[in-house]
Amino acid sequence: MKQVLTKAKEIHFYKPKHNDTFIFYGKRYTIDENKIPEPGDYILIIRPAPDFLDHYSLNEIEKVDTVDDGNVVTTRDNGVKHHEYVVLVPGRKEGSQEIAYYDKSLVPESQQIEDESMQYLAEQDDSLKPEVGDIYYDNIQKTKAMIVAMTEDEIVFGHGVRVHVAELLDENNYTLVYRFEEDM
């Protein structure tokens, strides 16, 4: 789950296909080329042909905002045509092929469990960590709130609610509305 410098001859090309399963942001997904996407689904770009205003590339994963006759508009305002993507279905389907690891036998079971843990991912990936000033929508309480304070693994919203960092990554609970990025 970390970037490793390597040489081109050491890279093994693999083209994701129907019924492959892998881990994305601490959750397991299976590729389903027959599923029709719905808002909130993730798609994998397999044949990119972006228009001049769109910005996406091969094997990029995007979240569906709206669907119009098989074509989708993603949350990043990219228009992706129906022949350019496959849908990622949450969970592991029966008979799916594991592609999360090159050689699964070399990865201890405890590490595999950690890899699928939102809490582990939130603590390890700095790009996912929230910052003071970020605004989130609480899908359960139906409120928007800004992060006003943080510890290493806990955040405090402006209205006093405290949650673990991993809870913010669960899209069933919270949705990022605004990301405060400090320019230096």
The gap from C-alpha 99 to its chain's centroid, in whole angstroms, comes to 16
Mean pLDDT, residues 85-97: 91
Confidence of residue 183 (pLDDT cuts 50, 70, 90): very low
Distance CA 65, CA 27 (A): 20
SS3 annotation, 67-132? EECCEEEECCCCEECHHHEEEEEECCCCCCEECCCCCHHHCCHHHHHHHCCHHHHHHHCHHHCCCC
Mean pLDDT, residues 113-125: 60
Mean pLDDT of the chain: 84
Token output for 50? 């972006």
This prediction's pTM: 0.67
Q: Is the pLDDT of residue 122 over 70?
A: no
Confidence of residue 102 (pLDDT cuts 50, 70, 90): confident
Parallel/antiparallel/unpaired status of strands 135-138 and 97-98? unpaired
